[in-house]
Structure 1
Amino acid sequence: MIKNVLFLYKVCTVFFFIIVSLCILKFDGGKHYNDPDPTPINWRNIVYNNKTIENENNIKEEKIKLKLSIDIDSIFENIKNEKQKQDVDGPLNRINYVYRKNERINIERAEKVKDAMKHAWDNYVKYAWGQDELRPMASSYHNWFGLGLTIIDSLDTLLIMEMKDEFIQAREWVESINIDQDNVKLKDYDISVFEANIRLLGGFLSTYHLTNDSLFLDKAIETGNVFLNAFEDDPFPKQVLNFFTKKGKYNYWSQGCTSLAEVGTLFLEFYDLSETTGNPIWKEKADIILDTLTGFQTKMTGLIPTGLIPDGTGFCDQRISVGSSGDSYYEYLLKMWIYYDGKQDKFKQYYMQASDSILRFLYKRSNGNTYFVENIKGKTIDTQEHLACFASGMIALGAGTNIANDKNSNQLYMKLAHSLVKTCVDTYYSTPSGLAPDSVDFDPVTGEIKPNNPSFFLRPETIESLFILYRLTGNTIYQEWGWTIFESINQHCRVDRGFVGLRNTSTPELKDDLQQSFFMAETLKYLYLLYSDSNVIPLSQYVFNTEAHPIPIRKAHTSR
């Protein structure tokens, strides 16, 4: 009996050994005998929480590239090659000589801006990956899209700065998200159509054009398809849209109204999506909006109150402004004319009417300061928002592209643009931190600058205008002003785990604990371009959307 038991035990032991060996060989994944890597194939990419466990280098490009449908190396090689092609001298590029003259310091400064971008990105990855925005001081995050907004908003900045490993991370995230499908993760978010358009759609389109990677066009189409749910019977879309339920509505605080900027800042992205795909649906929606807006008759020709009734029959307020709720509508009239390479006269007509009225009714000089006022029910308010500082760049770009077709007018516009951006820079110099309040009041007699809203939100508008004016003039004073601002940002807004805004520019110790996605999409991008050669996103070939995502100008396009 004992012998039988021992025999059975030996048989079971041998059988168990054989089974285990086969399992090990199976898990080994059929490793080739001559394979120099001793690690079993199936052990080489163990996934935990969607992150590949790698060696100390964190990311092995060889392995990641196996997952990609495109050649990342070729993309970055093309970007590098484009940077070696100097843009020709012309009205949109006057920097070739001065850039070469100061090349060493330009390269040093661009690298320092890139270091700031890496600091912002690395900490976002560490503390808020997949969330919308980083809260550096709390080592936490803030969500209002539910789609990893910072990642999408940063895509083209990573490309322009040649941050390949970071771009690969970002691309993998984009590949993993669902936008127009039933993504239950999005059910808790009512997303601003305006913000999603300039950040998501603009970011996807720009990255597609820079890489020719169909993934980003697919995501742009998905986003555009979701937007169609915001359009019902009215000419204007709903303010916010739930990407899960596909239901739109108006913000409770808007009292059923929408704003000029929200509906007037869809043109560039909608037109480009239609032109790129050949599907006219988005262009048709944008045309209805444009026809409705330009059909309004107002006392200030070309200027439209910021509050609009959604059915297009009138206005909810009588506030005229190139600041919040109005700004980017006027910006896009010019940029649509540029996008179509000057072949669409209607955009020229609308922009010229608006810009003439802006300079007639909203432009003001006071004891050396030049700024834009607001007009409410015919009454002038000497308050300027930081957002309005984009307008000096807009006016300069109009002159550089010769939209007025008049040399004397262009010279006048350039002088105005210079004086306007100088005042914006002075709002930075007016505070102990060297950072501008979000809005300021001007004394109409003395010109004294006083904070209205003392916060600083890492905004880009002044840097944007400095970049445009530098490219158009070659005057390095714009670079120096920009560098002073960047140093103040680094001094007061850079913290251990990212960048934050200030609650009060007079008390820089008071931080707001939010790394805005537009800081990486716009502020750092424009700063980097301010110290880059003319061949890096040349203004003769690209037009920026209002979130600083570059879209190619349609050079061969003819008017329809």
Structure 2
Amino acid sequence: MMQFAWQSYKRYAMGKNELRPLTKDGYEGNMFGGLSGATVIDSLDTLYLMELKEEFQEAKAWVEESFHLNVSGEASLFEVNIRYIGGLLSAFYLTGEEVFRIKAIRLGEKLLPAFNTPTGIPKGVVSFKSGNWGWATAGSSSILAEFGSLHLEFLHLTELSGNQVFAEKVRNIRKVLRKIEKPFGLYPNFLSPVSGNWVQHHVSVGGLGDSFYEYLIKSWLMSGKTDMEAKNMYYEALEAIETYLLNVSPGGLTYIAEWRGGILDHKMGHLACFSGGMIALGAEDAKEEKRAHYRELAAQITKTCHESYARSDTKLGPEAFWFNSGREAVATQLSESYYILRPEVVESYMYLWRQTHNPIYREWGWEVVLALEKYCRTEAGFSGIQDVYSSTPNHDNKQQSFFLAETLKYLYLLFSEDDLLSLEDWVFNTEAHPLPVNHSDSSGRAWGRH
């Protein structure tokens, strides 16, 4: 599958950000500020892990010869960080090839102007042109999942460059978040980078909030379990989520609702389905009396996300699903019924498999493989579908770069031995790019003790 996805991309869209498989051409989009080759960078570590040596060399050659950083558009800080910086860092750590390290650091430097705000909470958009902070958008707010998902990569940028500024920027974000008052211990999704106050009280473990929580537990793990602040913030946040957002439906399905100033929306987004894997990953370092509880909670949430797949005609899950009026774990409108090759459900299967070795997770993963082959494979690559409840769905004409970075990697790991990227030694960024755990007791290094 990976080979087919890569070869289709190479044939029709090499160097473009993503392949459009129906029209057999490439797509640049406006998320990356003029940077190209998102699919190349996102695929490097997956190709390497799968021992697709020829394809990896093609990707590496493109990075060496054609990956130019002298661009002048406006880019999403978050997307460039998780896809490009994450992909380059992993490629370096897996191969030791210097080109990946150098490009990662250079690109990281281009992201620093986003932090030129009164609070140091970065803007969501960075202009590569002037390097100035766009005061035109000074009224806008920054998104928790975006400014909260820089920590892993930026500590590695400091580690590899010796430049402390990367680590300082993300430590400051942590400091602001620790000090600010949180409603009921919850972290709302929007913060003003100017005032440092929450902009509204919406809370979500799906889009807008998701990877902030993930990066807390992963910062603890990546630090070799020395970053106590990250650990404490994670378990406190998880307890608040459990108290205020966790529900069980009449049909017995456990889900995490969305919170709007005290009122719950009984829906769960596909993006929130990563949380089963996250809670499993964090279970072993919880207080002893909570460990079994978190393992069970992780299994229950993952089961709910499987139900969202099982209850569709295609056996792929919708973008969001609801729990109301007797209908459970299904999308209630067409605008939420699409599947764009997202990885979060198979990501949780992989973590739960590694923790329990319960064969059900491999069975569920295989259901996804078969459904992808049946409904998403086209003549020239894989495409998302517009309605998971149709047995003849229309394709959306997009092979997302995260399909190669994440979905196929997590499926491959689900069916691999546990020592391939052992969770003792590697932490995955939120684009599934593996970063090494700092095992040495060296408090003076980037991640240090707090």
TM-score by length of 2: 0.93
- 1:351-370 map, 5 Å: 351-366=234-249, 367-370=251-254
Residue 125 of structure 1: aligned partner: 10
**How many Å separate the matches in 2 of 1:446 and 1:505?**
16
- 1:96-115 map, 5 Å: none
- 1:287-326 map, 5 Å: 287-301=171-185, 303-326=186-209
Residue 159 of structure 1: aligned partner: 48
Code of the residue aligned with 1:372 in structure 2: it is I
1:404 is aligned to 2:293: no
Residue 418 of structure 1: aligned partner: 299
Q: What secondary structure sits across from 2:248 in the alignment? A: strand
Code of the residue aligned with 2:360 in structure 1: it is I
Asked if the contact 2:304–2:329 (Cα under 8 Å) also holds between the matched residues in 1, the reply is no
- 1:442-457 map, 5 Å: 442-443=323-324, 447=328, 449-452=330-333, 453-457=336-340
Which of 518, 538, 544 does residue 402 from structure 2 map onto? 518
Residue 154 of structure 2: aligned partner: 270
Deviations 1:326-366 (A, max 9, x none): 01001100000000111111111111110111111111101
Residue 140 of structure 1: aligned partner: 25
How far has the Cα of 1:410 moved from its partner? 0.9
**How many Å separate the matches in 1 of 2:317 and 2:180?**
35
Q: In angstroms, what is the RMSD of aligned CA positions?
A: 1.7
How far has the Cα of 1:486 moved from its partner? 1.4
Q: 1:444 to 1:255 in 2, by over 3 A?
A: farther
How far has the Cα of 1:244 moved from its partner? 3.9
- 1:211-290 map, 5 Å: 211-234=95-118, 235-249=120-134, 256-290=140-174
How far has the Cα of 1:510 moved from its partner? 1.1
Asked if the contact 1:427–1:449 (Cα under 8 Å) also holds between the matched residues in 2, the reply is yes
How far has the Cα of 1:147 moved from its partner? 1.6
Q: 1:124 to 1:450 in 2, by over 3 A?
A: closer
Deviations 1:8-62 (A, max 9, x none): xxxxxxxxxxxxxxxxxxxxxxxxxxxxxxxxxxxxxxxxxxxxxxxxxxxxxxx
1:429 is aligned to 2:310: yes
**How many Å separate the matches in 1 of 2:11 and 2:180?**
50
Asked if the contact 1:383–1:440 (Cα under 8 Å) also holds between the matched residues in 2, the reply is yes
1:474 is aligned to 2:363: no
Code of the residue aligned with 1:395 in structure 2: it is I
From the CA coordinates, give the structure whose radius of gyration is larger.
1
Asked if the contact 1:238–1:250 (Cα under 8 Å) also holds between the matched residues in 2, the reply is no
How far has the Cα of 1:427 moved from its partner? 0.3
Gaps of 5+ in 2: 444-448
Residue 375 of structure 1: aligned partner: 259
Code of the residue aligned with 1:126 in structure 2: it is R
**How many Å separate the matches in 2 of 1:299 and 1:196?**
31
Asked if the contact 2:117–2:123 (Cα under 8 Å) also holds between the matched residues in 1, the reply is no
Asked if the contact 2:203–2:259 (Cα under 8 Å) also holds between the matched residues in 1, the reply is yes
Asked if the contact 1:179–1:243 (Cα under 8 Å) also holds between the matched residues in 2, the reply is no
Code of the residue aligned with 2:17 in structure 1: it is D
1:546 is aligned to 2:430: yes
How far has the Cα of 1:534 moved from its partner? 1.4
Asked if the contact 1:456–1:505 (Cα under 8 Å) also holds between the matched residues in 2, the reply is yes
**How many Å separate the matches in 2 of 1:355 and 1:405?**
13
How far has the Cα of 1:308 moved from its partner? 1.1
1:168 is aligned to 2:78: no
Code of the residue aligned with 1:437 in structure 2: it is P
Q: What secondary structure sits across from 1:300 in the alignment? A: helix
Code of the residue aligned with 1:195 in structure 2: it is E
Residue 195 of structure 1: aligned partner: 79
Identity of paired residues, percent? Answer: 39
Residue 383 of structure 2: aligned partner: 500
How far has the Cα of 1:251 moved from its partner? 9.7
1:464 is aligned to 2:353: no
**How many Å separate the matches in 1 of 2:365 and 2:67?**
39
Asked if the contact 1:320–1:375 (Cα under 8 Å) also holds between the matched residues in 2, the reply is yes
Alignment coverage as a number of residue pairs: 435
Asked if the contact 1:240–1:251 (Cα under 8 Å) also holds between the matched residues in 2, the reply is no
After superposing on structure 2, the runs of 4+ consecutive aligned residues of structure 1 that deviate more than 3 Å are 177-180, 247-252, 444-452
Code of the residue aligned with 1:548 in structure 2: it is A
Asked if the contact 1:250–1:257 (Cα under 8 Å) also holds between the matched residues in 2, the reply is no
How far has the Cα of 1:246 moved from its partner? 2.8
Deviations 1:427-457 (A, max 9, x none): 0011111111100111266646344400101
Deviations 1:299-333 (A, max 9, x none): 221x2110111124212221011011101001100
1:341 is aligned to 2:230: no
Which of 308, 313, 331 does residue 214 from structure 2 map onto? 331
**How many Å separate the matches in 1 of 2:413 and 2:55?**
19
Q: 1:414 to 1:226 in 2, by over 3 A?
A: same
How far has the Cα of 1:179 moved from its partner? 4.7
Q: 1:318 to 1:433 in 2, by over 3 A?
A: same
Deviations 1:489-514 (A, max 9, x none): 11000000000001111224311000
**How many Å separate the matches in 2 of 1:512 and 1:236?**
35
Which of 338, 361, 384 does residue 268 from structure 2 map onto? 384
Q: What secondary structure sits across from 1:434 in the alignment? A: coil
**How many Å separate the matches in 2 of 1:397 and 1:127?**
38
Q: 1:256 to 1:299 in 2, by over 3 A?
A: closer
How far has the Cα of 1:539 moved from its partner? 0.5
How far has the Cα of 1:278 moved from its partner? 2.1
Code of the residue aligned with 2:300 in structure 1: it is S
**How many Å separate the matches in 1 of 2:89 and 2:159?**
11
Code of the residue aligned with 2:265 in structure 1: it is I
